[in-house]
Amino acid sequence: MIDTKAIEENIRGILVALGDDPEREGLKDTPRRVARMYQEVFEGMNYTNHEIAEMFNTTFEEGIDDEADMLGRVVVMRDIDIFSYCEHHLALMYDMKVNVAYIPKGKVIGLSKIARVCDMVGRRLQLQERIGKDIADIISEITGSEDVAVTIEGCHSCVNARGIKKNNTKTFTAELRGEFQRDPNLQVYVR
């Protein structure tokens, strides 16, 4: 669990290390505010991938008589907005768009649950590559399908606002599994 008291103490120390006075009017409540923000934006750190899968395991078999009914079907959810924080610099990864696709194996997941999985996975110290892998692992666990694809495009403030300072740079990652890895025709669903 996230230790908000320890975060408050450390933020106070960072303010001092930056040469500022944590008791001045504008900063008095900053350590508490940052601790509450961290509790919110890093909520996903409280859960394993398996626990997230259990949390959002809402599937439906209605209207699916057998697996033959699912042949040729693909479920795709596009442009799911998420954010995360880079584990290397604690910098914001923003304007992230996630595309998730899977081939159903007898059941489908509730659509809002796909977005909730993406959101919860992003709420960790992360790498964009791992976000895609974690989402794919969870979707595969919930649906029972090995045929899963997750693509992500996003901006990284550790590239845009510091260091090399390339403002228009976006990073694209793809986690392709099963038929999405083998069949290039399926990859068009997540581009």
- Rounded CA separation 179/83 (Å): 28
Is 22 in contact with 33 (CB distance < 8 Å)? Answer: no
Residue from 76, 86, 52 nearest 154 by CA: 86
| CA 191, chain centre distance (Å) | 17
- Rounded CA separation 2/101 (Å): 32
- Residues with catalytic annotation? 86-89, 128, 156, 158
- Rounded CA separation 24/151 (Å): 45
